[in-house]
Structure 1
């Protein structure tokens, strides 16, 4: 596929738009991803019509989403997932099960096909670790009791969301039930073998590679190769493979060394293009096609995270204040919801209207999450705040490399 001068100009414009809009959003106390999405929405056909479809630029954005999930895997601490506790696990399960069921029910009531309704529910299961972490950091509560629960549950939530996404993609692939299962088993065996023997061997000898650029290139090759294996061998979404590659490398010394350069590469070029280009994919007709459904889904998105995460925390013996804060901190959807929506759109199980609803949900919940969390601290000032180390992510990378 050839590039044209127009493609190069579009890339330049998208990068400038993403960085400027992200900086403006941060200046107003909002996550940068929100500014990028809104800028793409305004510059696209939904408003000004300055950004059109370009296949080459779209492919760059596709690489961006693969890198985004690879970084999410790198920033995941498997040991932290095991030690974060029963509360975080139950909060994560509630934060996936209730939004999934409610989203599916709304989709069915709105007349959607079964698979479309399931993907709508899957979009609602996501939780944005970056938005939550940044808000907790600003409030000085990253190491509080509720901060630990939120961060641990958000990571488990993302893992469960990836598994739900993979299951839906396999279900949509058609054919006999045996073929997807065989492909899943084969990929699982390959993934286990590579994760158990190949990656540790490479990671153990990475210091013999003198060039840092070569080490980064090697890990990117593993991420892209694993993404290909997941799609071609396992019948899964490519993002599933890149996420698993990141998780496997996160336990190694090599993984610790390459987080910063990979994050810099991704957030300099590919990931901003993904966010702004995905925002520009929405048309005005899509946004106005189903206003009642959009409003209903936004309401469901807010309530199901508040209840689905807050109630399990309360049942685990947490105080009312801590439970409310946990529910509020899990409201934001962010980039993971966009990943699920984009995969669903590519697979043909989310139509243009469903994709636009996902954009609206992401924007509204991204704005609502920090506002609700700050309000929860104001309304419940006497909550228990036991300080302990954050089990999951380093703060500097929890904010998504911004």
Structure 2
């Protein structure tokens, strides 16, 4: 067979095989998947086995992959955090541009004997970088952290400055560096940026509103806008990566993080375009260039050394100035050390205008190869450590509270809107599924209505799974709809009940109608009643109406957090409409509640004037939310009960939501008040339930060792089979290296907790890394939900203690393990 392959079908088949196998092999030898794709490109490319040529097709798809990475970076960045911390991006951007530029210019002149223009042009290759490892950060759930946000913002600053210097030097060699040049490039860049920022949101909002029912058209419109913006950036004198990033940034608020459209965007990029880019970069590496002589080695050493050291200095200098942790600074370094697209562009331009010779091109290729292999390893290392810290911090801040959203679905036309709301209500770091429920009242046609309900929920499941959101649907039969909803909420331990309201007036003495009002009156959970008339993702602002004394009722903080979660997930601003007497501490509290969103305040004169002052404030794209109260509570007033219908009538084209805060604090908060000392550890993990340093080679063997002494053989066998199935279908990864299996069983009165630690890692299909530690929680069937949550919180409190996973792996004695826990407790005290 002739090499390289020329048959297009064979070329594509080979590339797809590499995209399939390279990550699997890399994972097997414990390397980042990105490194596997880079190595595959190097091994099978023109400088390796020669199976594939880096031809126009590979280059085209590689360029598409690069633009896709920049588009995703803009699409997933937290705009609220960018606005709050824009100075952070500016600091990092200037440092990561100036430090490599200064160090590279000095070494180019001093060690390589270059002229100043040549040295400066070479240094621009060190200043720019490519967000090669951004997909890896996305898999760790860190895309909206401040370190990643700062890096993305800094990338745009440094790449723009580097490419601007490149354009200036290229123009100076051709004698075009005059006033006309500066005016033309300034005008074209300004017109382009302003045009994209103003027009793309309008066009995107029109498409997403007009074709909200056809996700294929939505997807095609987003891609068309992105690549058109990339091309127009090239026309304006900028690099296409700048245009792709701006497109993602301007579409950010229109594409929810958890939606079918976002899932399609991620799937297409991660499965096809981005791997093509990584393979194309790997194909550039030619190890034979290292044999060209000592002078080439000097150039290579200088270029690789400056790229690695200068980016390290910039990352940690920025982290020190901005008071970031070592893990955050390390993650910034891992993201910014990678050299690829802009670096290669600068090298080729320098070669074409005669400033660079073959040794610089050789050094550039080697530098790209070294940094692209080094960067993913650094990113993976610091990213995992930061992810573990965030998981622990998140659990501590939320007091281990479950975030379970129950959606009461009655008709098909309600299902899509309620499901979209569920995506927004579900916090970004939640592992809990959504719980769509359809209740059928008992009657003569019950079976037929149950069948219709199951068909209705099937559509809901398909849409949710397309958005990569887990769901747990159920159809229940009860004496009436209200009883069925409340029973489903208790059985699933839901924290939020979301209901659909058609906006029509209720009967005398009712707010929404008999069913909804009864759920509000009898339910203790947060109840969210919604009239949805337009897609939630096209809303520009949320207006939250807070009636007098609302801050004094139970559940106020949870309600505020829910509203801010809606604003964060939908990418909108939040405006609070408050009473004049609301104290400054309460205002500060509202602004401090996570997640962080842009908050503004406006005061109404009195509660009776809310309805008359809103029209001057509300625009057609606003989402109105009323913080309501149940009858008899401190903030309840008869006029507040009349507001939902009045708002529905006065603002027929605006989405309207009424939030009733939860009635009571759950008992799981007490778990975090317990001291992590010797007694607490022994109470949660008694010695007879702990197996350390086990030689078990499978999860079944470990489970058998843990449970054999506790249950009779007749009960043990089906229990092991069930736990084995749970380990394969629904394991809970508490932290990296630790997995929880929990189940409800008959025949016990108290929860029983077991802890097993293996010498060798266990292979579980749905866990990111092969764990050494397994925790088993067996709870009684009829256990109180609050008690169950408190037990889970106790387990998490211990396991998520810093260094606990390492202590469990390294300690072979229960006594020594307890002593370590005590020492850690004393150190924290």
The structure 1 residue matched to 2:310, chosen from 304, 308, 316, is 304
> Shift in Å at residue 13 of structure 1?
1.1
More helix by share: 1
Secondary structure at the counterpart of residue 82 of structure 1 = helix
Structure 2 CA distance for aligned equivalents of residues 125 and 306 of structure 1: 15
Structure 1 residues 340 and 268: alpha-carbon distance in aligned structure 2, compared to 1, 3 A threshold: same
Partner in structure 1 of residue 32 of structure 2: 31
Deviation larger for 349-358 or 56-65 = 349-358
Q: Is the 8 A contact 2:47 2:285 kept in 1?
A: yes
1:340-351 superposed matches below 5 A: 340-345=342-347, 347-348=349-350, 351=361
Q: Does 1:314 align with 2:315?
A: no
Partner in structure 2 of residue 236 of structure 1: 238
Structure 1 residues 360 and 306: alpha-carbon distance in aligned structure 2, compared to 1, 3 A threshold: closer
1:62-73 superposed matches below 5 A: 62-73=63-74
> Shift in Å at residue 192 of structure 1?
1.4
The structure 1 residue matched to 2:153, chosen from 152, 156, 159, is 156
Structure 2 CA distance for aligned equivalents of residues 219 and 250 of structure 1: 11
Q: Is the 8 A contact 2:121 2:166 kept in 1?
A: no
Q: Is the 8 A contact 2:41 2:281 kept in 1?
A: yes
Q: Deviations over 1:202-257 (max 9, x none)?
A: 3145232142111111111111111111112x111122211211111113247975
Q: Is the 8 A contact 2:129 2:338 kept in 1?
A: no
> Shift in Å at residue 376 of structure 1?
11
1:212-361 superposed matches below 5 A: 212-232=215-235, 234-253=236-255, 258-289=261-292, 290-316=296-322, 318=323, 323-333=325-335, 337-345=339-347, 347-348=349-350, 351-361=361-371
Partner in structure 2 of residue 365 of structure 1: 375
Structure 1 CA distance for aligned equivalents of residues 22 and 162 of structure 2: 30
Q: Is the 8 A contact 1:37 1:275 kept in 2?
A: yes
Structure 1 residues 253 and 341: alpha-carbon distance in aligned structure 2, compared to 1, 3 A threshold: same
Q: Is the 8 A contact 1:200 1:252 kept in 2?
A: no
Partner in structure 1 of residue 106 of structure 2: 105
Structure 1 residues 315 and 54: alpha-carbon distance in aligned structure 2, compared to 1, 3 A threshold: closer
More strand by share: 2
Q: Deviations over 1:92-128 (max 9, x none)?
A: 5434432333234344433552354133222468684
Q: Deviations over 1:123-166 (max 9, x none)?
A: 4686844455667x6xxxx59xxx94422322222222332343
Secondary structure at the counterpart of residue 47 of structure 2 = coil
Structure 2 CA distance for aligned equivalents of residues 85 and 248 of structure 1: 16
1:99-138 superposed matches below 5 A: 99-108=100-109, 109-111=111-113, 113-114=118-119, 116-123=121-128, 128-131=133-136
Secondary structure at the counterpart of residue 49 of structure 2 = coil
Structure 1 residues 20 and 220: alpha-carbon distance in aligned structure 2, compared to 1, 3 A threshold: same
TM-score by length of 1: 0.77
> Shift in Å at residue 55 of structure 1?
2.0
Secondary structure at the counterpart of residue 201 of structure 2 = helix
Which sections of structure 1, spanning at least 5 residues, go unmatched?
397-401
Structure 1 residues 315 and 100: alpha-carbon distance in aligned structure 2, compared to 1, 3 A threshold: same
Secondary structure at the counterpart of residue 54 of structure 2 = coil
> Shift in Å at residue 81 of structure 1?
1.0
Partner in structure 1 of residue 656 of structure 2: none
Q: Deviations over 1:351-397 (max 9, x none)?
A: 343133222122123334445778999xxx9xxx79889xxxx789x
Q: Is the 8 A contact 2:69 2:132 kept in 1?
A: no
Structure 2 CA distance for aligned equivalents of residues 55 and 148 of structure 1: 37
Structure 1 residues 298 and 353: alpha-carbon distance in aligned structure 2, compared to 1, 3 A threshold: closer
Structure 1 CA distance for aligned equivalents of residues 315 and 262 of structure 2: 30
Q: Is the 8 A contact 1:328 1:372 kept in 2?
A: yes
Structure 1 residues 374 and 98: alpha-carbon distance in aligned structure 2, compared to 1, 3 A threshold: farther
- CA RMSD in angstroms, aligned pairs only: 3.9
> Shift in Å at residue 15 of structure 1?
2.4
Which sections of structure 2, spanning at least 5 residues, go unmatched?
352-359, 399-427, 430-467, 469-767, 769-829
> Shift in Å at residue 37 of structure 1?
0.7
Q: Deviations over 1:168-224 (max 9, x none)?
A: 443255233433542442342243134224532431452321421111111111111
Deviation larger for 342-351 or 187-196 = 342-351
> Shift in Å at residue 52 of structure 1?
2.2
Secondary structure at the counterpart of residue 34 of structure 2 = helix
Structure ID, larger Rg: 2
Structure 2 CA distance for aligned equivalents of residues 124 and 105 of structure 1: 20
TM-score by length of 2: 0.40
Q: Is the 8 A contact 1:310 1:326 kept in 2?
A: no
Structure 1 CA distance for aligned equivalents of residues 51 and 163 of structure 2: 34
Secondary structure at the counterpart of residue 304 of structure 1 = helix
Q: Is the 8 A contact 1:11 1:273 kept in 2?
A: no
Secondary structure at the counterpart of residue 48 of structure 1 = coil
